[in-house]
Structure 1
Amino acid sequence: MLQKTVLRVGAAALVLLPGAAFAHTGVGHASGFVHGFAHPVSGLDHILAMVMVGLFAARLGGRALWLLPITFVAVMALGGALGVAGVTVPFVETGIALSVLVLGAVVALNVKAPTAAAMGLVGLFAIFHGHAHGAEMPEDAGGLAYAAGFMLATALLHGAGLALGLSLGRFEGRKGALAARSAGGLVAVAGVGLLAGVL
């Protein structure tokens, strides 16, 4: 029942919210919101990592379904605040590329980590993603609106990963698990390409 509800909410959010987010560009704080919303969906590295967080959560199930995405978004907001404040976080781009590789590998290897350990892992990578979002905030964007935008976009990408994982989990036998693990493997390979600078 919980899985069906998550699937429906994720699908509805993916269909309805992006259009609403761009409906009032340039009005008040909307431009800041739009810039924030666009940032996570404009880079392959961010998209792949966010979807893998959702897929990882779906593979773990239980409380991880909501704890992993919430942890990521909350810690990412902290990282964003550091970026806006000009606080240096070393190896941000490397950390982002590693997040793609590691999260893809975790899904590919079907790692069954305890929820607390999984939260720690996604939280670590969230700092790098958040810092990149905050450091690249346009000067004329409202900080809170910008943050709301990148947090919503991130949550939607998590929702896409959750929906994918829960959908694959409904396949009989090992087909769903194989498909999820294959997706993780492809993302891990993309992470290698990001680290090598070829993607």
Structure 2
Amino acid sequence: MLMTPLRTKNLSRLAVQGLVGLCLWPTLAWAHDGTGLVGGFVSGFLHPLNGPDHMLAMVAVGLWGAILGRPLVAVLPVVFPIMMAIGGVMGILGVPIPPVELGIGLSVVVLGAVIAFAVKPAIWVAIVIVAVFGIFHGYAHGQELPSAADPVGYSVGFVLSTGLLHLIGIGIGYLALRRGGMRLVQGLGVVIAVSGLWFVSQALLG
């Protein structure tokens, strides 16, 4: 059954309020602070939800994919988790890379900016951008995996949660665009980018 315009409008409003709520998370807890992770699948699934930096980046990948359309709307949500897995292995092995927290903060800024300006680069450029940032997000969690009681279960839960956040971003994007809401999507990009600046400042001050 088709949704009425009023119902669609209400869903769009709820989606925006939910995203803003993530940005204004009172504790602003980092998803990768501390060590000694315990558990497996459930811990991995909940881990991205405990940090607004990760949540916003993952939702942003979906939002950008919705703007870019096929094939990237399907490719980007696959590339990000794959590169996260590679980054996780790099984190476990201790492969040196630039400051991780700064890279994660910049990922939120850049992904928010490309949404805000509705940037539509070549396919390979979009893939490279998402892939590079996926490594930083994966690296942070890879450093913690050895301390988890069930690293495999934790990894599966984390990847599944990441995929769901991508789907949420795609859903919000398509819902807004269907109602002619490119400005709404771009506005969400502005909110994401500004939040990213806060994460970057914390990384620099830390």
Q: Which residue of 1 aligns with 2:49?
A: 41
- 2:153 and 2:96 map into 1 onto residues whose CA distance is 23
- 1:39 and 1:138 map into 2 onto residues whose CA distance is 15
Aligned 1:90-101 pairs, distance under 5 A: 90-101=98-109
Identify the range of structure 1 (67-76 vs 87-96) with the bigger mean alpha-carbon deviation. 87-96
- 2:137 and 2:178 map into 1 onto residues whose CA distance is 31
Question: Do residues 196 (structure 1) and 201 (structure 2) align?
Answer: yes
Identify the range of structure 1 (82-91 vs 49-58) with the bigger mean alpha-carbon deviation. 82-91
Q: Which residue of 2 aligns with 1:183?
A: 188
> TM-score, normalised on structure 2?
0.77
The alignment covers a number of residue pairs equal to 166
- 1:171 and 1:97 map into 2 onto residues whose CA distance is 31
Q: Percent identity?
A: 45
- Unpaired runs of 5+ residues, structure 2, are 1-37
Question: Do residues 170 (structure 1) and 178 (structure 2) align?
Answer: yes
Is contact 1:80–1:130 with CA below 8 Å preserved after alignment? Answer: yes
- 1:195 and 1:104 map into 2 onto residues whose CA distance is 13
- 1:140 and 1:40 map into 2 onto residues whose CA distance is 15
> TM-score, normalised on structure 1?
0.79
CA-CA distance at 1:77 after TM superposition: 0.6
RMSD between superposed Cα atoms in Å: 1.5
Question: Do residues 117 (structure 1) and 121 (structure 2) align?
Answer: no
CA-CA distance at 1:138 after TM superposition: 5.8
Is contact 2:116–2:187 with CA below 8 Å preserved after alignment? Answer: yes
- Runs (4+) off by over 3 Å: none
AA of the residue aligned to 1:35: S
